[in-house]
Amino acid sequence: MTLRPLIHLAACCGLALLCGAPALAQSNYPSRPIHFIVPFPPGGGAESTARIIAIKLSESVNQPVVVETRAGAGGNIGTETVVNAAPDGYTILLNTNGSAAQPHLQKLSWDPIRDLAPISLVATYSLVIAAHPSTPGKTLAEMVAYAKANPGKLTYGSSGTGGPLHLGAEMFKKAAGVDILHVPYKGNAPATLAILSGEVNLTFDSLVGPLPNIRAGKLRALATTGTKRATMLPEVPTVIETGIANFSYESWNGISAPAATPKEIVQRLNAEVVRIVAMPEVRRQLGGLGYEPVSTTTAQFAERIAAEYQRYGRVIKELNLKPDQ
Q: Are 67 and 50 contacting, i.e. CB atoms less than 8 angstroms apart? A: yes
| pLDDT tens-digit series, residues 255-273 | 999 999 999 999 999 999 9
Element at 175 (helix H, strand E): helix 164-176
Cβ atoms of 129 and 239 closer than 8 Å: yes
Q: In what order do the strands lie in the sheet with 181-184?
A: 181-184, 155-158, 202-206, 127-131, 220-224
Other beta carbons less than 10 A from residue 136's beta carbon: 15
CA geometry: angle 244, 249, 251, nearest 5 deg? 165
Handedness of CA 141, 143, 144, 148 (dihedral sign): positive
Indicate whether 227 pLDDT > 60: yes
Element (H, E) at 263: helix 263-277
Predicted pLDDT at 26: 56
pTM of this structure = 0.84
Strand order from edge to edge, sheet including 251-258: 65-69, 34-38, 91-96, 251-258, 116-125, 292-293
Strand, helix or coil at 256?
Answer: strand
Q: Which CATH number is 33-125+250-319's, of 3.40.50.40, 3.30.43.10, 3.40.190.150, 3.30.2140.20?
A: 3.40.190.150
Query: pLDDT class for 94, splitting at 50, 70, 90?
Result: very high
Domain spans in the chain, listed from the N-terminal domain onward: 33-125+250-319, 127-242
Q: Where are the beta strands (DSSP E) in 277-316?
A: 292-293
Architecture of domain 127-242: 3-Layer(aba) Sandwich (3.40)
Q: For 14-54, how does the pLDDT look when each residue is reduced to its tens digit (9 = 90+)?
A: 444 444 444 444 569 999 999 999 998 888 889 999 999 99
The Cβ of residue 256 has, within 10 Å, a number of other Cβ atoms equal to 28
Q: Residue range 172-194: average pLDDT?
A: 92
The DSSP call for residue 291 is -
Report how far apart, in Å, the C-alpha atoms of 318 and of each of 9, 141, 170, 314, 322 are: 64, 25, 11, 6, 11
Report the mean per-residue pLDDT for the chain: 89
Residue 200 or 25, more confident? 200
Kindly give the pairing relationship between strand 91-96 and strand 251-258: antiparallel
Angle at 234 between CA 230 and CA 239, to 5 degrees: 60
- pLDDT recorded at residue 152: 96
Q: Which residue, 248, 293, 258, is CA-closest to 273?
A: 293
For residues 89 and 71, give the distance between their C-alpha atoms in angstroms, rounded to a whole number.
Answer: 21
List, for residues 60-82, the tens digit of each pLDDT value.
Answer: 999 999 999 998 887 889 999 99
**Are the folds of 33-125+250-319 and 127-242 the same?**
yes
pLDDT value at residue 101: 87
